[in-house]
Amino acid sequence: MRHRMDPPTHRIIVDERERRSGIPDLLKSVDINVEVKTLPIGDYIVAHETVVERKSLPDLISSVFDGRLYDQCDRLRENFEHPIILMEGNVDEIDDIIENPLTFYGAVSRIALDFKIPIIPTPSAAHTAKLLVSMCLKKDRAAGPFLKKIKKSNDVQKQQLSSLSSLPGVGEKLAGRMLEKFGTPLRTFNASSAELSKVAGLGPSRAKKIRKMLDTKSSLHKKGNQSTLQE
């Protein structure tokens, strides 16, 4: 006589972009009920009010420079009681990924101290899956619905401060002073190093680093794009 297997009782909601990571398949292999959806915030919802944003080391570093990181932290904090950032990869490789590791550690410190979001490191996707399972088993599944309507951030000033805070060596206070001096983020980005150095607390050295970062051509740039834009 065949016995009917009970369905998995623990569930994790996974953002559809995480399919390629292989983590959803690892979760299914240990009888976690995986629901794949398009999540506006985060990559995994492991329990009521508990969301996990998974970032590989290269993605975490690039999100610092393009301004995504702090905006994501704002939205995670605004919409979930227990946001978590999961940092996946070998930290020993930071020196090979970024010229100045202090920029990386400054960003990590800001996440932990200013946003009060815990950062948990894992060495690989397999260990990430184990951590997600552990979180899922620890949380009370009956506390309420996983999914909810996510509020969209429409605070322009907060977005402006976030974009400027992504610049090398710039925190929220310096970002505020930049806006006081130049009026808009665009004017700040277009300012010369001499003009930037006049912002109180910034100085010539940091101003040069900011200009170097803004003016250095990205390795992602394709030669054909420039001619297309000029037509």
Q: What's the chain look like in SS3? A: CCCCCCCCCCEEEEEHHHHHHCHHHHHHHCCCEEEEECCCCCCEEEECCEEEEEEEHHHHHHHHHCCHHHHHHHHHHHHCCEEEEEEECCHHHHHHHCCCHHHHHHHHHHHHHCCCCCEEEECCHHHHHHHHHHHHHHCCCCCCCCCCCCCCCCCHHHHHHHHHHCCCCCCHHHHHHHHHHHCCHHHHHHCCHHHHHCCCCCHHHHHHHHHHHHHCCCCCCCHHHHHHHHC
The CATH architecture one would assign to domain 11-138 is: 3-Layer(aba) Sandwich (3.40)
Q: Where are the domains of the chain?
A: 11-138, 156-215
Amino acid making up residue 80: F
Out of 3.40.50.2300, 1.10.150.20, 3.30.300.20, 1.10.3720.10, select the CATH number for domain 156-215.
1.10.150.20
Q: So what's the pLDDT on residue 143?
A: 47
The per-residue pLDDT for 46 is: 92
pLDDT of residue 165: 79
**Angstrom distance (rounded) from CA 152 to CA 229:** 31
Q: What is the pLDDT along the chain (231 residues), one digit of tens a residue?
A: 444 444 446 889 999 999 999 999 999 999 899 999 999 889 999 988 899 999 999 899 888 877 788 888 888 988 899 999 999 999 888 888 888 888 889 889 989 998 999 999 999 999 999 999 999 887 554 444 566 666 555 578 777 887 887 788 787 778 888 999 999 989 999 999 999 999 888 888 889 989 988 888 776 656 555 444 444
> Nearest to residue 141, comparing CAs of 50, 75, 218, 62?
50
Residue 2: the pLDDT is: 45
Cα-based torsion angle of the residue sequence 72, 76, 175, 58 in order, rounded to the nearest 10 degrees: -40
Please compute Rg for the chain using Cα positions.
21
Residues 6+ apart with CB under 8 A from 108: 87, 119
pLDDT of residue 213: 86
Q: What pLDDT does 22 receive?
A: 94
Residue 124 burial by Cβ neighbours in a 10 Å radius (0-12, 13-18, 19+): exposed
Instruction: Using the Cα atoms of residue 42, residue 46, residue 48 and residue 49 in order, give the sign of their dihedral.
Output: negative
The predicted pLDDT at position 129 comes to: 95
